[in-house]
Amino acid sequence: MAVGIFDSGLGGLTVYAAVEKRLPDVPFVYYGDNAHAPYGVRDADDIFDLTCRGVERLWDEGCDLVVLACNTASAAALKRMQESWVPKDKRVLGVFVPLIEALTERQWGDNSAPREVAVKHVALFATPATVASRAFQRELAFRAIGVDVEAQPCGGVVDAIEQGDEILAEALVRSHVAALKRRMPHPQAAILGCTHYPLLEPVFAEALGPGVRVYSQANLVAESLADYLARRPEFRGPGREAKFLTTGDARSVSDHATQFLRRSIRFQPA
C-alpha cells in the first residue's frame, strides 16, 4: 500500500516534493491528469467525474489514502465524493483544510463560534472554478469573522505551466496580481489557491510587495498528512520507490516536470 497524490497536472508536484521531504519513509504514487488539464475551466460534474477516475486509478495502485493535491478538485468535487462515493475502507483528503487551519489558527474539528483573527484582508489567487465555488470563503466564514477576501481568478496560468512556458506564466501572474491590487490595494495575506502556483511563488511575492504574507499549501499539507498518518498508521504504505503516472504524453510531461522542479522526474502512462 502507498499514499496517492492526485492532481489535474503538474501542480501537485509541489505537494509531492514537500510530503516526500517530510515523510521520506512513505512511498507515494503520483497521478497527473495532464490530458484533461486545466480543471479550472471545467464544470463541477466534469471535475467530479475526472477526479473519481483518477482516484480509482490510484486505488488500483494500492493507495487506500489519496490526497487531492488540486484545489479545483478539492473545491468542486471532494465534499460530494466523501458524502456519496468514497468506500468506508478508503480515504480521500483535500488541501483546503490545512490552509484554513493556518489562517484561522484553529483545528478543523473546532466547531466553536467564528471569532476574530489577526488577518483581515486576504487576497485569494485561484483557478476560475475554485473562485466560482466560493469554497474557501465558505469554510473561512465558518471559523472567522471580519475577514475580507478578494478573489482573483487566474486564467491562463495553469495552461502556461503545463506547456512549460515560464515567461508567459510569470507575465500572467504579474497581470493577475495587478488586477487584484486595484480592488484590494493593501492585502495582509495572499493565498496561492492552486498547487501549480507555488512554482511561481517568488513572482507572486515580488508582485505583491513587502509586508504581504504568502500562504503556500505544500508544507502545510505535508505537516497535516504527517499528523494524519501518525493517527492512522494503517494507511502508511511499505517502503517502495515513488511512481509517477500521467494521462498525457509521458515524455513531454516528464520534461516539463523536470524543468519546473529542477530535478529529474520520469512519468509513465497511466
Give the model confidence (pLDDT) of 256-268 as tens digits. Answer: 999 878 889 999 9
Kindly state the average pLDDT of the residues 72-84: 93
Tell me phi and psi for residue 4, to 5 degrees.
-90, 145
Same domain membership, residue 145 and residue 59: no
Residues 207 and 101 in one domain: yes
Cα torsion angle, 143, 22, 214, 12, sign: negative
CATH code (residue 186): 3.40.50.1860
Q: What is the 3-state secondary structure (H, E, C) of the chain?
A: CCEEEEECCCCCHHHHHHHHHHCCCCCEEEEECHHHCCHHHCCHHHHHHHHHHHHHHHHHCCCCEEEECCHHHHHHCHHHHHHHCCCCCCEEECCHHHHHHHHHCCCCCCCCCCEECCCCEEEEEECHHHHHHCHHHHHHHHHEECCEEEEEECCCHHHHHHCCCHHHHHHHHHHHHHHHHHHCCCCCEEEECCCCHHHHHHHHHHHHCCCCEEECHHHHHHHHHHHHHHHCHHHCCCCCCCEEEECCCHHHHHHHHHHHHCCCCCCEEC
Q: Same structural domain for residues 114 and 205?
A: yes
pTM: 0.87
Does the pLDDT of residue 237 top 80, yes or no? no
Among 52, 63, 70, 154, the one annotated catalytic = 70
- Give me the domain span that covers residue 89: 3-94+218-269
Total domain count for the chain?
A: 2
Q: Are 38 and 162 a contacting pair, CB within 8 Å?
A: yes
Q: Check whether 1 has a pLDDT greater than 70.
A: no
For the beta carbon of residue 13, count every other beta carbon within 10 angstroms. Answer: 27
The predicted pLDDT at position 72 comes to 92
Same-domain check for residues 129 and 229: no
Tell me: do 182 and 135 sit in the same domain: yes
- 70 included as an active-site residue: yes
* pLDDT bucket at 21, cuts 50 / 70 / 90: very high
pLDDT at 238 over 70: no
Catalytic residue, candidates 52, 63, 154, 194: 194
Domain boundary among 177, 192, 216: 216
The predicted structure's pLDDT at residue 112? 80
Domain co-membership, 102 together with 210: yes
Can you tell me the mean pLDDT for 245-250?
97
Q: Are residues 33 and 72 both part of a single domain?
A: yes
Mean pLDDT of the chain: 92
Average the pLDDT over 40-60 and give the result.
96
Domain boundary among 201, 216, 231: 216
